[in-house]
Amino acid sequence: MSDSDSFIDEVTEEVRRDRLYATFRRWAPVAALAIVLLVGGAAWNEYRKASARAEAEALGDAIIAALEADAPATRAERLQAIDAGSQGGQAVLRLLTAAAQVEAGAPEAAVAGLDSVATMGDLPDIYRQLAAFKALTLQSDSLPAEDRRTAFEALARPGQPLRLLAEEQLALIEIEQENTQAAIDRFQAVLSDAEASPSLRDRASQMIVALGGTPEAPARGGTAQAPASQG
């Protein structure tokens, strides 16, 4: 290699090095900022998780303390005084408060609280439907049978989480309206449903016998037992 070639190579290498340093100086602040954001984001996520865990634990402790009261009215008052901090937590509190209010002899207040949960649009369906179901069962003496029938039929649609429990309530409405055969048919449908729990099947079978019918055993080889049974 000639001296001129060696000189050209050295100059070329120096130019490359200068360009590399220039590029580094140009983008180093951006790279540093990206690292800070990544590290800061991870730290923020950990902080949020820790905060959510602490809030959940505090809510659980407050609920346990409220439920330790002997008098149902006192339990209801203490539960109502708790700040849930989230819509889901508030829904759980109102469900528990409603149970205490019923025990304390205040079903109207319980229904009002349950209705408020049933209309929380951002809640999962199971919470809203559970609240609606409980509210309906508390109004068996005050709400007309046809109104309750319409509401339970909505809860008994295929795919709904409380479908079979709503069917059981519809059968009880048939009894209330002296539709004995219709009640037996509904109880038999519950008894034959693969998703019914053993306790729900027992209740349906007992009601069929009490109404003068004969329970028909579920057919073998039907739909497989669902993992989450009702009743």
2 part of a folded domain: no
Question: Is residue 230 helix, strand or coil?
Answer: strand
Residues 106 and 176 in one domain: no
122 part of a folded domain: yes
C-alpha 92/C-alpha 130 separation (Å) is: 11
Residues 160 and 209 in one domain: yes
pLDDT, average across residues 183-209: 95
**Residue, of 44 and 139, whose pLDDT is higher:** 139
Which of 84, 111, 141 is at the close of a domain? 141
159 part of a folded domain: yes
C-alpha 11/C-alpha 20 separation (Å) is: 14
Average pLDDT of the chain to the nearest whole number: 81
Which of 141, 175, 210 is at the close of a domain? 141
C-alpha 128/C-alpha 131 separation (Å) is: 5
Confidence of residue 223 (pLDDT cuts 50, 70, 90): very low
Which of 141, 158, 182 is at the close of a domain? 141
What would the pLDDT profile of 145-195 be if each residue is shown by its tens digit?
999 999 999 999 999 999 999 999 999 999 999 999 999 999 999 999 999
Residues 173 and 196 in one domain: yes
Residues 86 and 135 in one domain: yes
How many degrees, rounded to 5, is the angle at CA 136 between CA 194 and CA 174?
60
118 part of a folded domain: yes
- Beta-bridge mates of residue 196: 230
Residues 124 and 72 in one domain: yes
Residue range(s) defining the domain that contains residue 213: 144-219+226-230
Question: Is residue 223 helix, strand or coil?
Answer: coil
18 part of a folded domain: no
What would the pLDDT profile of 66-105 be if each residue is shown by its tens digit?
889 999 999 999 999 998 878 888 888 999 999 999 999 9
Beta-strand (E) ranges in 100-222? none
Residues 188 and 119 in one domain: no
Provide the domain count of the chain. Answer: 2
26 part of a folded domain: no
Poorest-pLDDT segment among 18-22, 206-210, 224-228: 224-228
Q: Which residues contact 55 (CB under 8 A, 6 or more apart)?
A: 85, 86
Residues 165 and 112 in one domain: no
76: exposed, middle or buried (C-beta count within 10 Å: 0-12, 13-18, 19+)?
A: buried
6 part of a folded domain: no
Name the CA radius of gyration of the chain, rounded: 32
User: Can you give the pLDDT at residue 85?
Assistant: 78
User: Can you give the pLDDT at residue 225?
Assistant: 39
Residues 114 and 96 in one domain: yes
First to last CA, the chain: 92
User: Can you give the pLDDT at residue 15?
Assistant: 52
Give me the torsion for CA of 111, 158, 173, 106, rounded to 10°.
Answer: -10
Residues 104 and 171 in one domain: no
- Beta-bridge mates of residue 230: 196
C-alpha 204/C-alpha 187 separation (Å) is: 5
211 part of a folded domain: yes
pLDDT, average across residues 56-67: 86
Residues 63 and 131 in one domain: yes
Residues 72 and 116 in one domain: yes
**Is the per-residue pLDDT at 222 higher than 50?**
no
Residues 65 and 134 in one domain: yes
